[in-house]
Amino acid sequence: MVATGEPRVSTFRAGSGTGRRWRLWRLRIGRRARAVPRAWRSSLQLRTIVSTLALGLVALLVVGWYVGERTRDGLFLARVDQVLDESARSTQEAQDSFDASTAKTGSEVQRLLQGVVEAQRLGGSGDREVFLLRAPGQISPVTAGSAASDASLVDLVSKELKDATAEGGQHWQSVALPVGTADAPAVVVGQDVDVPVVGTYQLFFLYSLETEQDRLDFLQRTLALAAMVLVGLLGGMTWLVTRQTVHPVRRAALVAERFADGHLTERMPARGQDEMATLARSFNGMAESLQDQILRMEELSALQRRFVSDVSHELRTPLTTIRMAGEVIHGSREDFEPAVKRSAELLAMQLDRFEDLLADLLEISRFDAGAAMLDAEGRDVRDVVLQAVENVAPLAERRGSWLRVSLPDDRCAADLDPRRVERILRNLLVNAVEHADGSAVEITVGADAHAVAVTVRDHGVGMTADEADHVFDRFWRADPARARTTGGTGLGLAISLEDAHLHGGWLEAWGRPGRGACFRLTLPRRAGIRLTGSPLPLVPVEPDLPLARVSEPRRPGTDPAALPELGHGTADDDLEVP
């Protein structure tokens, strides 16, 4: 049993190995096939060389064909003229021999014919065969046969040539002469002669043009070799010229890429006085100018960040003093006159807003300085959402808005900083309540294997696509004339965006005038996961609401049509908080 099983296992492995090799071979062929179009599109030098070689090859082929045809015609026609002149002289010599002959009988005529054939065969230039054939329609009392220097080649004389010769004059025809296993070009020339006693015969000369064909073949081989050498030289010269042109451009592109990556000291080598050297010097001058401007902007930005940070810190001391005095005044407001009482209340409210502004400025300065730290821990996003909703519920009650929360049944755990995520959600909820104009605000939580997401949707005034592109800018307001009743600082959404990026996540916005707005926060479940999609759609799925442009490019993997409408369907735990 073991012996019979082993060959089967060996055969199976061999077959699978062959299949793997076949698949690897197909993959290699496919990669190389895909690499050719990429190389063609990405290399100016390759396109120039191939185009030049193609045009040069076509030109050489045309020239070679023309030269070959002209040479062939010249050799052939010159040889034909020579053959016709020589055949005419040989025919006259044969006729003179026949006229001087005293042959009377058939045998004597036969010997005469054979002697003339042998004499004419050796009397021409080069190799030729001679045939003496009785002309068609000849009748005489004395009969004699035909004579030929090579009887096996008599069939090369066609009936058409015999009939043309019988009409009188000199005629010729091109034929293929068998030489070994191949054929060589040849010419058959015919003319009538009068033979004594027996009447008219046709004298044919067969001339081989193999020598001329060899010359033509040699010339064509020489032309082909010369064409190959010329194509090689053309390709080499094109490569050299294009390299001298393309190499500085590639160098400039490489230097530009490194310059864009922050290597501000990168420069192009400038040698000589030609156009490329001028380009290099101009590029280096531009790079030095950009470097100076970037350094000045960096210094200015650093000074601005330091100024904001220092001012924020320095303002805390007087703010604390003013806060203490304001609290004393606010605590005694009942003893004041109505106008002074209202002033005390406004003072306390504006002090709160001033303190929030300082806190936001300090947070922004930390982000700008790269000093923001993430204190991540494993938490259920649902708990963080509920905490943010509870904090914003009093504001929603005052504005007459309802907070509708849709939570999944399963745990939505992720590695996050609860303080920062809660701040993101609080900013989004406050912003939604501020612009909801008393309508409902929907909060939806979703999760998949790689990410968790929270969407905040309001049905208020909404915003345009251009406004959605700027909604995360610092101190930006869609409508400057609109009252800011909640006392916002204008930095909440900007800080929220930085908090989302600090987690490696996304914060996106969508809006449409009169239809409300939707913000989506997407966070990876584990640190280091690169997001490719979101569990929730950014664009709300409503039958009468077409898709619109969002503030950031849509990420792959999000299919709004595959998910239910916000606030319905998959969420089994729906809470309505007044």
pLDDT tier for residue 330 given thresholds of 50, 70 and 90: confident
| pLDDT for the residue numbered 39 | 67
Which region among 52-56, 406-410, 434-438 has the lowest average model confidence (pLDDT)? 52-56
Please report the pLDDT score of residue 286 as a whole number.
87
Other beta carbons within 10 Å of 383:
14
Residue 477 DSSP one-character state: -
Residue 191 binned pLDDT confidence (cut-offs 50, 70, 90):
very high
Distance CA 426, CA 462 (A): 19
Res. 569 pLDDT band, cuts 50 70 90:
very low
End-to-end CA distance of the chain: 79
Residue appearing with tokens 């849709």: 406
| Cα–Cα dist 213/448, whole Å | 81
Which are the contacts of 500, defined by CB distance < 8 A and separation ≥ 6? 424, 506, 507, 521, 522, 523
Q: Which helix (H) or strand (E) holds 108?
A: helix 106-121
Among candidate residues 361, 360, 366, 478, the one with its CA nearest the CA of residue 427: 360
The pLDDT of residue 2 is: 37
* Residues contacting residue 512 through CB under 8 Å, at least 6 positions apart: 462, 463, 464, 545, 548
- Give, as one character, the DSSP assignment of residue 373: -
One DSSP character per residue, 46-103 reads HHHHHHHHHHHHHHHHHHHHHHHHHHHHHHHHHHHHHHHHHHHHHHHHHHHHHHT---
Longest CA–CA separation in the chain, Å:
171
DSSP, collapsed to helix, strand or coil, labels residue 365 as helix
Q: Is 455 helix (H, G, I), strand (E, B) or coil?
A: strand
- For residue 263, the SS3 value is coil
Q: Given a cut of 60, is residue 324 above it in pLDDT? A: yes
pLDDT in tens, 265-305: 888 887 777 777 887 888 888 888 888 888 888 787 777 77
Task: Report pLDDT digits (tens) over 241-265.
Answer: 777 777 777 788 888 888 888 888 8
Q: CA angle 180-183-187, nearest 5°?
A: 125
Other C-beta atoms lying within 10 Å of the C-beta of residue 380: 18
CA–CA distances in Å: residue 337 to residues 322, 327, 341, 345: 21, 17, 6, 12
Sheet with 573-577: list strands edge to edge. 506-512, 516-524, 451-458, 441-447, 403-407, 573-577
Average pLDDT over all residues of the chain: 78
Strand, helix or coil for residue 348: helix
Domains and CATH numbers, the chain: 101-212 (3.30.450.20), 290-372 (1.10.287.130), 377-577 (3.30.565.10)
Which pLDDT does position 523 carry in this prediction?
92
Asked if 251 and 271 count as a contact pair (C-beta separation under 8 A), the reply is no
pLDDT in tens, 70-122: 877 777 888 888 889 988 988 898 888 888 888 778 888 888 888 888 888 87
Which residue did the predictor score with more confidence, 16 or 162? 162
Residues contacting 541, CB < 8 A, separation 6+: 560, 561, 563, 564, 565, 566
Confidence of residue 445 (pLDDT cuts 50, 70, 90): very high
| Helical (H) or strand (E) element with 382 | helix 381-399
Q: How far apart are CA 571 and CA 475, in angstroms?
A: 36
8-state DSSP, 403: E
- pLDDT-based confidence at 371, cuts 50/70/90? low
User: How far apart are the C-alpha atoms of 478 and 80, rounded to whole Å?
Assistant: 96
Q: Which two tokens stand for residue 316?
A: 């805390």
How far apart, in whole angstroms, are the C-alpha atoms of residue 113 and residue 132?
A: 7
Phi, psi dihedrals of residue 147, rounded to the nearest 5°:
-135, 140
State what percent of residues in the chain have pLDDT above 70.
83
Q: Provide the pLDDT for residue 425.
A: 93
Quickly count: other Cβ atoms within 10 Å of residue 509's Cβ: 25
Torsion of CA 47, 48, 49, 51, to 10 degrees: 80
Work out whether strand 516-524 and strand 573-577 pair parallel, antiparallel, or are unpaired.
Answer: unpaired
- Give the burial class of 499: count Cβ atoms within 10 A of its Cβ; 0-12 exposed, 13-18 middle, 19 or more buried: buried
Share of the chain above pLDDT 90, in %: 11
77, 70 in Cβ contact below 8 A?
A: no
Q: What is the DSSP letter of 334?
A: G
Q: How many Cα atoms within 13 Å fall on the side-chain side of residue 414? A: 30
Q: What is the mean pLDDT of residues 377-406?
A: 90
Tokens of 75: 């050799």
Residue 535's Cα: distance from chain center in Å? 31
Render 230-250 in DSSP notation, one character per residue. Answer: HHHHHHHHHHHHHHHHHHHHH
Sequence length of the chain is 578
> How distant, in Å, are the alpha carbons of 146, 148, 222 from that of 137?
15, 20, 51
Q: How big is the CA angle at 37 (ends 35 and 43), to the nearest 5 degrees?
A: 90
> Rounded distance, CA 320 to CA 312, Å?
12
Per-position DSSP letters for 513-573, written without gaps between them? TTTEEEEEEEEESSTTPPP---SS-SS---TT------SSPPPTT--GGGSPPTTSSS-SE
Q: What is the pTM of this model?
A: 0.46
Report d(CA 153, CA 156) in Å as an integer.
6
Please give the distance of CA 450 from its chain centroid, rounded to a whole number: 31
